[in-house]
Every structure is written in structure tokens, then in C-alpha cells.
Amino acid sequence: MALRQVRTMGDPILEKRSKEVTQITDRTRELIDDMFETLYDQNGVGLSAVQVGVLKRIVVVDVSEDEDDPIVMINPVIRESDGEQEGYEGCLSVPGKTGKVKRPNHVIVDFLDEDLNPQSMEGEEVFARCICHECDHLEGKLYVERVDGPLQDMDDVQEEQQNRRKKKKKIKK
């Protein structure tokens, strides 16, 4: 396994549509392993192959706290979505920035697993947001195209959210 360089906004590869995966090779398995290593090293929750410079329709996701539930999605397609949520999103390809994005609150995604077996999975809230975000990458789109308002510095937003939590705690006492 190896860390891969995460491509950042402005790199033309991020604007390209990824190609479907039709077979799993040793190189594909190595790519998936490297993607997880890169994801965990960068403290991310999702990563698409295009973000590490490979135009394949592969996504790795782990929204859990303990790295016990990693998911590999090959050729994912969102079959159904409903509800709505709005929240701040970030991206390893847009370091240090965040913005408010509206996404479905619930999705059903069809994909192939690492053995090319068909799978289907439901996602809600953060997981649904992550699936939508990563599927956008496969189409050559960054979340910044969906941001409502200007991009903000991640540190400023996190500080603001912490201050709100502190005020709520004081009110409850």
C-alpha cells in the first residue's frame, strides 16, 4: 500500500468523467488499498479514484468513527433519492475550505463490490451526503459548484460551530 497524491481544485483531471470498471486486476486492488490508506491519512470520509489521478469509477467510503465499516463502490449509480438536508461540506481536493450544500437526506445506490458482484445500499444523512459527493466526482464535478453562497475557511466555520455549542450548554444550565 502507498499514499497517493490527492489532486486539488484546478487540476484538469477533476473535471473529467471517470470510466466504468469492467474487470478487477491486481492493479485495481492495489489502487483501492492505496485509496483507503490515503483517505485515512487525510482524515477523510470518502475518496474517488479521480481524486488520486485515476479515471475509474471507484469510490471508497468510511463514515464510521473506528475504520471498521469501509465500503468500496465500483460503478456506483444513485437509483433513488428523497428528502433534503443542508450542511457544510468539505473535500480533500479543496483543502481548508467548506460551503453549505443541499443534498438528498436519503439515497439508494447500486454498485459492484470488489468481486464485481451487484450490490445495493441505502444511505441517510452524512452517508447519503458522502455518496452524492463522491458520485459527483465521478462525473467531473466538485461540490463547489453546488455551494450556496461563498466558500469559507474551514477553521472559521469550525470555530463558529464550537462557539454555538458552548452557548447552548450555558443556556441549558
Could you tell me the three cell numbers for 85? 438536508
What is residue 143's DSSP assignment?
Answer: G
- Rounded to 5°, the CA angle 76-154-88 comes to 45
Q: How far is CA 158 from CA 100, 161, 164, in A?
A: 13, 5, 10
- Cβ burial of 49 (10 Å; 0-12, 13-18, 19+) is buried
Active site residue 134: yes
User: Which residues pair with residue 103 across a beta bridge?
Assistant: 85
Could you tell me the three cell numbers for 11? 487540476
Residue type, 133: H
Which among 114, 134, 139, 159 is annotated as catalytic?
Answer: 134
Which residues are catalytic, by number?
Answer: 134
